[in-house]
Amino acid sequence: METSMEELKQREAIIAACLEMNQSGLNQGTSGNISVRWGEGLLITPSGLPYRQMQPDDIVFLRMDGSYEGRNRPSSEWRFHRDIMASRPEVGAVVHAHPTYCTILSIQQREIPAIHYMIAAAGGPSIRCAPYATFGTEELSQNALEALEGRNACLLANHGMIATGPNLDKAMWLAVEVETLARQYVGCLQIGEPNILSDEEISRVLERFKDYGPRPKQADQA
């Protein structure tokens, strides 16, 4: 099937985001994976292919029933990408990575509390840590879905993190914010117990955050 220009742009955007993840230190090697909702399924990174070698045709189209089209197998973590998209219609993109500070906290099986008002970017007063399960399994997917209840991001115990968004730009932005919060929290724990903002304060911030985050550039008005 011929790829439309719009689909080609989405595939190129996924590759660019993968390269950005590694260049920024958000991820290492090929351990991260990205998906974008597309048609009756999603476009997702292939399994094990280095990002610098990736071409638009390497991105896999994954249907909601788990079948796929393309010359590569989808990421081994395809299940939670698919399940998040299936259960959260507002989600248009999912970013999974193993950033250093998120992973440190996930190894300790700690959630990130409201140490800073930017926690609201993840949808609530904490970023939960899902219980451990083997990568690529249905159990991991279910654990992630539960940790994401009412949230836009979570940690995965002894593994890494997931960030979601209505589009790829916002999911990538949130992934960076979550790693920043994790780094701040780890730093605070080296000094002592941090002051935690109240749930009431985070509720106020959430009201102000309804339109927060990166926005598409608007065309100049005549």
pLDDT in tens, 31-56: 899 999 999 999 999 999 999 999 99
Q: Does residue 211 carry a pLDDT above 80?
A: no
Tracing tokens 């002051």 back to the chain, one arrives at 195
**Does position 218 have pLDDT exceeding 80, yes or no?**
no
Residue 201 a catalytic site member: no
- Taking the CA atoms of residue 204, residue 205, residue 211 and residue 214 in that order, the dihedral angle to the nearest 10 degrees is 180
Which of the residues 7, 77, 177, 179 is marked catalytic?
77
Beta strands in the chain (DSSP E): 33-38, 41-44, 60-63, 68-69, 93-97, 129-130, 153-156, 160-165
Spell out the domains of the chain, with CATH numbers in brackets: 5-208 (3.40.225.10)
User: What is the pLDDT confidence band of residue 220, given thresholds at 50, 70 and 90?
Assistant: very low
